[in-house]
Structure 1
């Protein structure tokens, strides 16, 4: 442990202490000697806040519907607690001595902080305070500088793997680089993030495998840097493999934080063309990579996991491998009817032509492999992943599935990618012997 900033926000004393402090602070705010406080102010405040939270949940889940899954009960519970604490603090400001009013404000802030900490622990978003603070930093370097054309390329003889012929140069950097860059194409996407491992700076430069990695929805490509800890985990993998690691490109498959074009070509946008053609073409033109389909992997979590499964089926000539972290069985905006209506103007036959489950039922994919990961506490997605596994295997794919402790959260997705999928992928793409 090098600094207090590296203490865990997900396990151990910090989340426990935050929860305990929040409970104590909320009890303090609820306690007053006045009879009218107990008969009018407190019950009306709790009832009003409960109605606000219930109304918000209804609007988000049934009216707005920015994502298919309902808001988690834990999130709603802590939102209600934070709202009650703020309302009670305001009510207590109207009377009492100055130090009690000050304590009321402090107590409300404690409850809000506890809610934020508990929500973060539930989703596993930021494992440490250092990770949370990095949201405000700009760690990128210019891609033109990081990806200067190499003077020579390391050739791998037939029958050999990259790990067999690679020799780490003595002056190789210990860390890779990450860049933010626009990738043009048929879809109006936000900037992508590109990770280049230490080996990319070597001369001769090896042709490295590629991972096209996607975030969930709501989300953005930077999520894999902040919450996914992409750079530190890829650098750790590279240190264990003499500087070798995949080139990782994190494009935007959404177009906006809460948008959902379904990773399809439809009324909602040309997301599939962008991810299956435009992004790979840009990578091959701009970077020195292994161009064989066996060296290309598409992956992601939640919406990105669903998208990776789709692209493995819809673009098998590009992606030989896929990593589905807590994805769904098919692209969805909530129900099949809602999805078909929004994306295909009610034409279900058009949806069935591109839906991966239906494609797998009529075609075989003996040269595609994949890893499926899901949390043990994620029942709906466990069922979806089990179905995906069954259908993929029937279509001839070489697919493995892991169930990990956790729910629909970053605790599962980080472990799924770095501890399970990456070693498997390294063995398939020649990064390890």
Structure 2
């Protein structure tokens, strides 16, 4: 499912409004120049003919660039020049450690600070104040040793992360996934995730939790549905192995799967449920907001994800897994509305899950169903607080600590 609502970042980044406005100005200028110069280039000699071709090329190229940038800004296929020019590019591989409270990952390592993804936009998301008072949002690029993939994520660190009292404690983690084809920034400015989580944590409705904001579209513009594509990108490996390993190397995060959760909306919600059901040893908890329960066969966005392998396709069908495989040791939350197009599919999945849970007490599925609301950020924002509270209640609060120096 495609998500809706996206905003451009500032500056001359690929998604910046400034770049769009500049190209509009070029297109208008080229059109005016064409109208003014065309009579002067009306002769049929070689130079005037080349001049007319040049004017048409510049005018059409500028107009097409405005159109393509506008579409990209609306749907978030590419979020940076790096995405466009070097999709899935891997950064140098080496482990890093940033255990000191307040330290920012730095250097030529698995976790590198970056200004990608619209960092300027998120700077004012949290109230003004010191990190130990209001928390902090980092923009970092993760690199995977297993998948070979690399992508930018935002990391929200709660105020307690910087409090000396918690200086040796490992924190529970939520990995939040945007929809397709939207950028990670949509989790910040459209879903308002860090703002909502910070308020819930301040009011005591949610335990101090590190929130990692990512996107399923690791290799834009292709929608891999968070699966390992035969002969293609290993997106499942990226989220199951590389993302936790890289983050643990740089931040004080829980060591066990019980203290890790994953959730998302639309395609991100589908990925979240699938990751937890297939890999409860990585993510014990998951919430899917308006998810799909099978991998869509959309050759325009997905391509042939399974290369004709029917068994691999079945393995990613959540209903099939519950009917034919042992239920996983995982806790799941399904969030949707009675007005959503996939309401019947959701009811079918919940019924199948309920039956599977009868013989597997380690498997839990809850649901949150609103009476109305569609496939939009307005609905997802309404559902977000209850979703975060549920996840917080099910995340283990690890007491493991770093040894004293």
TM-score greater than 0.5 by the shorter chain: yes
Q: In structure 2, do the counterparts of structure 1 residues 255 and 428 end up closer, same or farther at CA, with 3 Å as the change threshold?
A: closer
Deviations 1:85-121 (CA, angstroms, capped at 9, x unpaired) = xxxxxxxxxxxxxxxxxxxxxxxxxxxxxxxxxxx9x
Q: Does 1:398 align with 2:364?
A: yes
8 Å Cα contact 2:179/2:265 also seen in 1:
yes
Question: Matches of 1:244 and 1:314 in 2, distance apart?
Answer: 26
Of 189, 198, 201, 2:162 maps to: 201
Secondary structure of the equivalent of 1:406?
coil
Q: Which position in structure 1 is the counterpart of 2:322?
A: 360
Q: Does 1:226 align with 2:189?
A: yes
**What RMSD, in angstroms, separates the aligned Cα atoms of the two structures?**
3.2
Q: Does 1:324 align with 2:275?
A: no
Q: In structure 2, do the counterparts of structure 1 residues 269 and 399 end up closer, same or farther at CA, with 3 Å as the change threshold?
A: same
Using structure 2 for the length normalisation, give the TM-score.
0.60
Deviations 1:11-57 (CA, angstroms, capped at 9, x unpaired) = xxxxxxxxxxxxxxxxxxxxxxxxxxxxxxxxxxxxxxxxxxxxxxx
Segments of structure 2 that go 5 or more residues without pairing to the other structure are 6-73, 76-97, 103-129, 358-362, 398-405
1:342 CA displacement: 0.8
1:386 CA displacement: 1.9
Of 230, 236, 240, 1:276 maps to: 240
Q: In structure 2, do the counterparts of structure 1 residues 196 and 351 end up closer, same or farther at CA, with 3 Å as the change threshold?
A: same
1:322 CA displacement: 0.5
Q: In structure 2, do the counterparts of structure 1 residues 345 and 430 end up closer, same or farther at CA, with 3 Å as the change threshold?
A: closer
Q: Which position in structure 2 is the counterpart of 1:176?
A: 135
8 Å Cα contact 2:278/2:328 also seen in 1:
no
Secondary structure of the equivalent of 1:282?
helix
Deviations 1:314-335 (CA, angstroms, capped at 9, x unpaired) = 1111111101000001121338
8 Å Cα contact 1:327/1:384 also seen in 2:
no
Q: Which position in structure 1 is the counterpart of 2:310?
A: 348
Q: Which has the higher contact order (CA 8 A, sep 6+)?
A: 2
Q: In structure 2, do the counterparts of structure 1 residues 357 and 341 end up closer, same or farther at CA, with 3 Å as the change threshold?
A: farther
Question: Matches of 2:203 and 2:135 in 1, distance apart?
Answer: 13
Question: Matches of 1:258 and 1:279 in 2, distance apart?
Answer: 20
1:243 CA displacement: 9.1
The more displaced of 171-180 and 324-333 is 171-180
Question: Matches of 2:206 and 2:3 in 1, distance apart?
Answer: 42
**How many aligned positions are there?**
271
Q: Which position in structure 2 is the counterpart of 1:117?
A: none
8 Å Cα contact 2:2/2:181 also seen in 1:
no
Of 261, 277, 289, 2:224 maps to: 261
Q: Which position in structure 2 is the counterpart of 1:409?
A: 376
8 Å Cα contact 1:216/1:301 also seen in 2:
yes
Secondary structure of the equivalent of 2:312?
helix
Deviations 1:133-155 (CA, angstroms, capped at 9, x unpaired) = xxxxxxxxxxxxxx65249xxxx
Q: Which position in structure 1 is the counterpart of 2:335?
A: 373
Query: Which structure is higher in helix share?
Result: 1
Question: Matches of 2:101 and 2:132 in 1, distance apart?
Answer: 16
Of 221, 228, 253, 1:289 maps to: 253
Question: Matches of 1:285 and 1:388 in 2, distance apart?
Answer: 37
Question: Matches of 2:205 and 2:308 in 1, distance apart?
Answer: 53
Q: Which position in structure 1 is the counterpart of 2:88?
A: none
Segments of structure 1 that go 5 or more residues without pairing to the other structure are 1-67, 73-119, 124-146, 152-170
Q: Does 1:211 align with 2:174?
A: yes
Q: In structure 2, do the counterparts of structure 1 residues 390 and 427 end up closer, same or farther at CA, with 3 Å as the change threshold?
A: same
Q: Which has the larger radius of gyration?
A: 1
Q: In structure 2, do the counterparts of structure 1 residues 375 and 189 end up closer, same or farther at CA, with 3 Å as the change threshold?
A: farther
Using structure 1 for the length normalisation, give the TM-score.
0.56
Secondary structure of the equivalent of 2:212?
strand
1:387 CA displacement: 2.4
Question: Matches of 2:2 and 2:170 in 1, distance apart?
Answer: 40
8 Å Cα contact 2:270/2:292 also seen in 1:
yes
